Chain A
Amino acid sequence: DAGITQSPRHKVTETGTPVTLRCHQTENHRYMYWYRQDPGHGLRLIHYSYGVKDTDKGEVSDGYSVSRSKTEDFLLTLESATSSQTSVYFCAINSPTASTFTDTQYFGPGTRLTVL
């Protein structure tokens, strides 16, 4: 358990409305990531953060913004939600293991977002 929570776990919203998803971690990890999961695509990176106020784009960042004002929280915002953003969103952190120190990503439980 990497101490990652996501909120909300489920959300239904309408096209054009803003939506913010929250990822919270309790173990002071530096790197945090937002992925989206769609059938036939696996998981794809939206944005990532390498520290407080340090963020960068991933491969599918259009229509999304992020913020990280505290180490423990990484927020994903859909400025104006569209139906193409209906997806499952996962937050992840990078964590070295006790035995090998190989950075490994651990995932939160996911948020299912439906945009009508």
Chain B
Amino acid sequence: AQTVTQSQPEMSVQEAETVTLSCTYDTSESDYYLFWYKQPPSRQMILVIRQEAYKQQNATENRFSVNFQKAAKSFSLKISDSQLGDAAMYFCAYRSIEGGANSKLTFGKGITLSVRP
């Protein structure tokens, strides 16, 4: 079974600075998807970014980018030019490339990010 580990429960960043959130995972599969979701105080789960394991290029979405290290099974999220609205809980998630029961997401425990003005 796959596992996802987010070892830092909390992080803090100064507004306009850059912060990196860590995530490691364990799997025996060679192809899979990885995701970062953001959960603000509204509780809504919002997709931030996704990465296909077969792509060597790191995914980027505006101020959000990932550092995907497949051999190390590491998938960190970098937030550049941090804004007050980035304050939220962030979840790392894994999904098998297969369908059916394997299409479910396996989540890490989450990390709470605070942004200092």
**Residues in A lying within 8 Å of B, measured CB to CB:** 31, 33, 35, 40-45, 48, 50, 56, 58, 88, 90, 92, 94, 100, 102-107, 109-110, 112
Q: Which residues of B contact A44 (CB under 8 A)?
A: 107
The reply to whether B103 and A107 contact each other, CB–CB distance below 8 Å, is no
B19: Cβ under 8 A from any A Cβ = no
Q: Shortest Cβ distance from A99 into chain B, in angstroms?
A: 11
- Pair B103/A94 contact, Cβ less than 8 Å: yes
Number of interface residues of B (CB under 8 A): 22
Question: Is the CB–CB distance between A41 and B109 below 8 Å?
Answer: yes
Q: Are the CB atoms of B107 and A42 closer together than 8 Å?
A: yes
* Known interface pairs A42-B109, A103-B95; 4 further A-B residue pairs with C-beta atoms within 8 A, sorted by A's residue number: A31-B103, A102-B52, A104-B35, A109-B44
Q: By CB atoms of chain A within 10 A, which of B35, B91, B101 has the most?
A: B101
- Cβ of B84 within 8 Å of any chain A Cβ, yes or no, is no
Q: A41 contacts which chain B residues (CB < 8 A)?
A: 109
Q: How far is the CB of A40 from chain B (nearest CB, A)?
A: 6
CA gap between A41 and B101 in the complex, in Å: 20
Query: CA separation between A56 and B109, bound complex, in Å?
Result: 24
Cβ of B50 and Cβ of A102 under 8 Å apart?
yes
| Cβ contact within 8 Å between A102 and B104 | no
Contact indicator B44/A107 (Cβ below 8 Å): yes
Q: Does B117 contact A (CB under 8 A)?
A: no
Whole-angstrom CA separation of A22 from B110 in the bound complex: 26
B44 touches A105 (CB 8 A): no
Nearest B residue (CB) for A112 = B43
Whether, in the assembled complex, B33 has its beta carbon less than 8 Å from a beta carbon of chain A, the answer is yes
Contacts of B43 in A (CB 8 A): 88, 109-110, 112
